Amino acid sequence: MKKRVFYFLMIINFIFINLAFINAAQLSIGPSELFINGTVGEESCKEIKITSDYIGNLIGEIKWARNSNKELKDYTLNPEYFKIIENYPEKIYFYGKDIKTFKICFKGEKQGKYNGLLIYKTERGYAGIGIWVHLKLENKKIDKTKLILYSSPTTLLFFLLFLLILKRNNLLFKPFPK
């Protein structure tokens, strides 16, 4: 009987000791996907929110893919491959239940659509969370109102010159034959 009680207490003690070493972190990130439209050579930003009950640092990293599928194995490229400059906190400290909001910004040299994956992991690497990044960079658009304002005097000058040539050649206001 004493042996059974002893074994029972040993098992209970073993369970409580092991439960003390189990660590779990709750992480959430929003939005689940980032759609960023920008202009080549200019920085484009969006806001991200991470919620966690973890105590310690979360380490962030972005990897890029050549295609737009969502297979993790394809996201292996560094931003230098696409000539993209990233600006986001690579290390975020959490102390218990906390919410952190921050900006993530990108600047690129080439027009195109780029697909990335931003992952934040705990320092020990036992928990992590990710967000899909869709970056679309376009060349600078010409403001059409400025184009019209700047081209109007030139267009008007050519139009008046054209009318003058027609008048000198008696092609302007010529009566219709009867």
Which single residue is written with the structure tokens 């992991």? 121
In this structure, is residue 122 part of a structural domain? yes
pLDDT number for residue 21: 44
Please name which of 49, 48, 54 lies closest in space to residue 94, comparing C-alpha atoms. Answer: 54
Report the number of distinct structural domains present in the chain: 2
In this structure, is residue 1 part of a structural domain? no
Do both 94 and 47 map to the same domain? Answer: yes
| CA distance to 89, 115, 165, per residue, from 65 (Å) | 21, 6, 60
In this structure, is residue 4 part of a structural domain? no
In this structure, is residue 118 part of a structural domain? yes
In this structure, is residue 5 part of a structural domain? no
pLDDT number for residue 19: 42
CA distance linking residue 51 with residue 29, whole number of Å? 6
In this structure, is residue 44 part of a structural domain? yes
- Between CA 145 and CA 155, with CA 149 as vertex, the angle to 5 degrees is 125
Q: What is the CATH number of the domain that holds 113?
A: 2.60.40.10
Do both 133 and 154 map to the same domain? Answer: no
In this structure, is residue 20 part of a structural domain? no
Do both 80 and 153 map to the same domain? Answer: no
| pTM of this structure | 0.65
Do both 145 and 157 map to the same domain? Answer: yes
Domain of 154 in residue numbering reads as: 141-171
Which segments of 31-156 are extended strands (E)? 33-39, 44-52, 55-65, 84-87, 91-95, 98-108, 112-122, 128-138
Do both 91 and 167 map to the same domain? Answer: no
In this structure, is residue 158 part of a structural domain? yes
Could you list the pLDDT tens digit for every one of the 178 residues in the chain? 655 644 554 555 555 454 444 455 677 788 989 999 999 999 999 999 998 888 889 999 999 999 888 888 889 899 999 999 999 999 999 888 889 999 999 999 999 999 999 999 988 877 888 899 999 999 887 655 555 555 666 776 766 677 777 677 766 655 656 6
